[in-house]
Structure 1
Amino acid sequence: MTDIRNDRETLFAYLQDPATQPDFWARVADDVDWTVEGTHPLAGRYRSKKEFTAATFDRLAKVLEGGVKLTVEHLYVDGDTTIVELASTSTTKEGAQFDNRYCWVCRFDGDMIAEVRAYLDSAMVGYTVLRNELRQRGG
């Protein structure tokens, strides 16, 4: 169990820096079933890694200086399930702290993430994304 826990700690630590995030995404199944809970512009159910990253990480990268940066606060491992609590260390392009918290409930199939349910601060995401996208459009 210690080996699995260490592996998962290393895996989710890749989210701290956009330069190491490809190592994280390499362990997410192409056909991942990823649900982002809430009522905000990024919420929804995504049926592939490509669809999920385009609608969330790529969209956030357009409004966050240096892209999405997440640090692990807590990690819980039980069999094929890992629950990870993450904190954003990102800043918006207008200089505001994007102080969001996430909880991802991940199901692994072997070494690959096959399914995720993600919970976050809907109000913060909606406000940040829409405000910054509007600002970028000159609104």
Structure 2
Amino acid sequence: MTQVRGDRAALFAHLRSSQTQEAFFARVADDVDWTVQGTHPLAGRYRGKKAFRQATFERLAGVLPEGAGLKVEHLFVDGDTTIAELVADARSNEGDRFDNRYCWVCRFDGDMIVEVRAYLDSMMVAYTILHNEQRSS
């Protein structure tokens, strides 16, 4: 179990920088079932890694010039389930802090993430996206 926890900790650490996030997504199944909870512009159920990334990380890249770097605060591993508590370290196009907090409940099949339920601060996402996208239009 210690080896699995260490592997998962190293995996989620790749989210820290937009330059290393590809290593994280290499371990997300192409047909992942990823649900972003809430009632904000990024909320929804995404069937596949490409759909999820386009609707979330790529959209955030338009309003967060350095991308959404996610730092792991807590990691809980139990069998095929890993719960990652993350905090964003980013600034919007206008220079406002975007220190959103996330909780991802991830199910693994072997080494691959196949299902995620993600929870976050809906109000912060809505404000940042809508306010910054309107200004760039």
TM-score (norm. length: structure 1): 0.98
1:43 aligns with 2:43: yes
1:61 aligns with 2:61: yes
Distance in structure 2 (CA, Å) of the matches to 1:121 and 1:68: 14
Query: Residue in 2 aligned with 1:16?
Result: 16
Q: By how many angstroms is 1:67 displaced? A: 0.8
Distance in structure 1 (CA, Å) of the matches to 2:4 and 2:61: 30
Aligned pairs for 1:112-131 within 5 A: 112-131=112-131
Distance in structure 2 (CA, Å) of the matches to 1:88 and 1:64: 11
Q: By how many angstroms is 1:10 displaced? A: 0.3
TM-score (norm. length: structure 2): 0.99
Between Structure 1 and Structure 2, how many residues are aligned?
137
1:132 aligns with 2:135: no
Q: Tell me the percent identity.
A: 68
Distance in structure 1 (CA, Å) of the matches to 2:94 and 2:127: 13
Q: By how many angstroms is 1:66 displaced? A: 1.0
| Counterpart residue identity of residue 64, structure 1 | L
| Counterpart residue identity of residue 99, structure 1 | D
Over aligned residues, Cα RMSD in angstroms?
0.4
Q: By how many angstroms is 1:93 displaced? A: 1.2
Distance in structure 2 (CA, Å) of the matches to 1:90 and 1:10: 21
1:89-118 deviation per Cα after TM superposition (whole angstroms, max 9, x unaligned) = 011111000010000000000000000000
1:60-89 deviation per Cα after TM superposition (whole angstroms, max 9, x unaligned) = 001002111000000000000000000000
Q: Secondary structure at the match of 2:51?
A: helix
Listed as ranges, the gaps of 5+ residues in structure 2 are none
Query: Residue in 2 aligned with 1:79?
Result: 79
Distance in structure 1 (CA, Å) of the matches to 2:120 and 2:77: 20
Distance in structure 1 (CA, Å) of the matches to 2:112 and 2:78: 15
| Counterpart residue identity of residue 84, structure 2 | V
| Counterpart residue identity of residue 24, structure 1 | F
| Counterpart residue identity of residue 13, structure 1 | A
